[in-house]
Chains A and B, each alone.
Chain A
Amino acid sequence: MRSYLTPSVTYGSDTAAAHLSIQAVSKVYRGRQAWTDKLLRQTSDDFVAIADITLDIEPNTFVSIIGPSGCGKSTLLNILAGLSRPSSGSILLNGKPIQGPGPDRGVVFQNYALMPWMTVAENLRFAIDTVYPAMPAAQQKTIVQEYIDLVGLRGAEHKHPHELSGGMKQRVGIARALAINPQILLMDEPFGALDALTRGFLQDEVERIWEQQRKTVVLITHSIEEALLLSDRIVMMTRGPAAGIADVLDVPFPRPRKREELDQHPAYHALKAEMEHHLSRETRAVEAARIGRS
């Protein structure tokens, strides 16, 4: 094995396993109800995005959240990231409530969110230097190189994001999220903007990286295959408004997993069928509701 396949040694002892507990979380977007709005006839009703979600995520598990579009998956992830506050309920990370965003959670964004004026290495360096300002420059550089190697981008260190393909950009996004050594990795439809081939390739990469760094991961996705390939548990959400958890599936496939061999496992087709059934039922209901409203 090559030496770079053991990252996070640079941080010394590995961080303790993170336990994430979501307790009765709801998110309501307030409508316009002030008297000025009423005067201008611009009132709108409150919108309940997610309602009463309770979920415990064990340390070092890979959890996927899947549901029909517009079901509040991203709302939930933004609350976990601390970018958005829950209207009620709370989220505990190792028993401590989450108050806002913080580097104990690494976030991978759907649109990559790389700084276009920074090179690949500078994007990583910015993250590390923000989180560990006291770390010596030499060590920061070592970590940058380590994670660029981890995601297979050696040689692209000094390229700017606009010179990279979508798949390469998201590798940088993943490297940046991991480089700060977070306790939890949050991924918001990270491969949603990629073409099918690149997406499959990157899923395999994430599976490979996760075998090396078993962090607690929460992945938002709308791909059944993606969820089955990567997850230990799959959380299926109901449609919005007031989306909730329909069911939680355990994925028993042994690791390391290979995409080609996955469907040989006896449970694969039953799991897939159950998810497809759930998703198509919810999606159909969303469409029916939309037709009924107009």
Chain B
Amino acid sequence: MAPDTVRPAATQRRQLALTVDQKALILFLVILAAFLGFWELGANLKLFLPIMPSASQTIKDFWFWISNPFFDYGPNDMGIGWLLLTSLRRVLTGFAIGSAIAIPLGILIGLSPIVSKAVDPFIQVLRPVSPLAWLPLGLALMKDSERTALFVIAITSIWPTLSNTIFGVKNVDPAYLNVARTLGASRWRTIRQVILPAAAPNIVAGLRVSLGIAWLVIVAAEILLSGGIGYFVWNEWNNLKITSIITAILIVGLVGLLLDRLFGLLQARVSFGQRS
């Protein structure tokens, strides 16, 4: 008897109650609406500086850039799609160069305590340097802005991947290594079949951080160089078009999010439940 009387009440409560995700979505929409409302109202009541556009103007302009991404009326008037492709090409090329240096170097350092101790001072000194500090040196060495951008991005991409690769290779679960030893596996076979797959989640985590930082740095580098989304931001500041700058900020953020998610998927693929 008792369960029968209890069940309807329980199901009713379940229908009314919102899940955590639903509640979060509602709160998100409320915050967004409050923010946009305050912005629109403030701009109309002239609470901000006159240069500040209203929310509706910004959204209109955002839609203009989004709806027509690929036009080209000369280097100072290009669709956002072309600008993004330029920046992405630079980031991905520089990131590939940086990773091609960082991963093998990290494996070597991780495997050898001697190399590790010998190389560590170089890494410790170079890692905290702002990537932009390399930019003048890059211009001097490369003598052109495209290759300087790649140079700066490559150096930026090295550090997180390098330190994560070293950590991953050094901290392979000794149980796996013991298995390889008891089977009499050669050093080379152990590295290829055991150490690298075991370190893969850490390496990919490093790549993910590297790519995120590279995407941060490309905007700053392009403000100083030319072309790409960073140059666009600076150019629109010179045109005093704040709506375009806000548009660019949002798009840079969304592309960064997308890149991060892609690497998140790759990370899940190589983890096999080693971390959730």
**Alpha-carbon gap, A106 to B178, bound state (A):** 12
| Inter-subunit contact B175/A113 (CB<8 Å) | yes
8 Å CB contact of A127 from B173, B183, B198? B183
| Inter-subunit contact B181/A83 (CB<8 Å) | yes
Of B173, B179, B274, the most chain A CB neighbours within 10 A belong to B179
| Inter-subunit contact B179/A113 (CB<8 Å) | yes
A54 within 8 A of B: no
Interface residues on A, range: 20 to 34
Chain A residues near B273: list those with CB within 8 A: 116, 160-163
Interface positions, chain A 141-177, Cβ under 8 Å from B, are 160-163
B193 within 8 A of A: yes
Chain B residues near A113: list those with CB within 8 A: 173, 175-176, 178-179
Among residues of A, the one whose C-beta sits closest to the C-beta of B196 is A117
Consensus secondary structure, chain B interface:
helix
| Inter-subunit contact B197/A115 (CB<8 Å) | yes
Chain B residues near A241: list those with CB within 8 A: none
A97 within 8 A of B: no
Say how far B20's CB is from chain A's closest CB, in angstroms: 26
Say how far A102's CB is from chain B's closest CB, in angstroms: 5
B contact residues, total (Cβ < 8 Å):
21
8 Å CB contact of B272 from A81, A102, A116? A116
A59 within 8 A of B: no
Instruction: Say yes or no: A117-B198 contact (C-beta < 8 A), given A109-B175, A160-B273, A162-B272.
Output: yes
**Alpha-carbon gap, A82 to B274, bound state (A):** 28
Interface positions, chain A 211-230, Cβ under 8 Å from B, are none
A262 within 8 A of B: no
Chain B residues near A126: list those with CB within 8 A: 183, 193
| Inter-subunit contact A117/B179 (CB<8 Å) | no
8 Å CB contact of A130 from B176, B189, B197, B270? B189
A105 within 8 A of B: yes
A180 within 8 A of B: yes
| Inter-subunit contact B197/A117 (CB<8 Å) | yes
Chain A residues near B274: list those with CB within 8 A: 116, 162
Among residues of B, the one whose C-beta sits closest to the C-beta of A119 is B272
B185 within 8 A of A: yes
B96 within 8 A of A: no
| Inter-subunit contact B183/A103 (CB<8 Å) | yes
A60 within 8 A of B: no
Chain B residues near A279: list those with CB within 8 A: none
Of A105, A109, A115, A117, the most chain B CB neighbours within 10 A belong to A117
8 Å CB contact of A105 from B175, B182, B194, B270? B182
**Alpha-carbon gap, A127 to B181, bound state (A):** 11
A7 within 8 A of B: no
| Inter-subunit contact A130/B183 (CB<8 Å) | yes
**Alpha-carbon gap, A103 to B186, bound state (A):** 12
A283 within 8 A of B: no
Chain A residues near B78: list those with CB within 8 A: none
B200 within 8 A of A: yes
Among residues of B, the one whose C-beta sits closest to the C-beta of A78 is B178
Task: Write the A107-145 contact mask toward B (1 if CB under 8 angstroms, else 0).
Answer: 101010101111000000011001100000000000000
**Alpha-carbon gap, A81 to B181, bound state (A):** 9
A101 within 8 A of B: yes
B184 within 8 A of A: yes
Interface positions, chain B 183-212, Cβ under 8 Å from A, are 183-185, 189, 193-194, 197-198, 200
**Alpha-carbon gap, A83 to B174, bound state (A):** 11
8 Å CB contact of B183 from A109, A118, A131? A131
Chain B residues near A109: list those with CB within 8 A: 175, 178-179
28 contacting pairs across A/B (C-beta < 8 A)? A82-B181, A82-B182, A83-B178, A83-B181, A101-B181, A101-B182, A103-B183, A105-B182, A107-B178, A107-B182, A109-B175, A113-B176, A113-B179, A116-B272, A116-B273, A117-B197, A117-B198, A118-B197, A126-B193, A130-B180, A130-B185, A130-B189, A160-B272, A161-B272, A162-B272, A162-B274, A163-B273, A180-B183
**B→A interface (CB under 8 Å):** 173, 175-176, 178-185, 189, 193-194, 197-198, 200, 270, 272-274
Q: A81-B182, A103-B183, A126-B183 are in contact. List 6 more A-B contacts (CB 8 A).
A: A83-B181, A101-B183, A107-B178, A115-B176, A160-B272, A161-B273
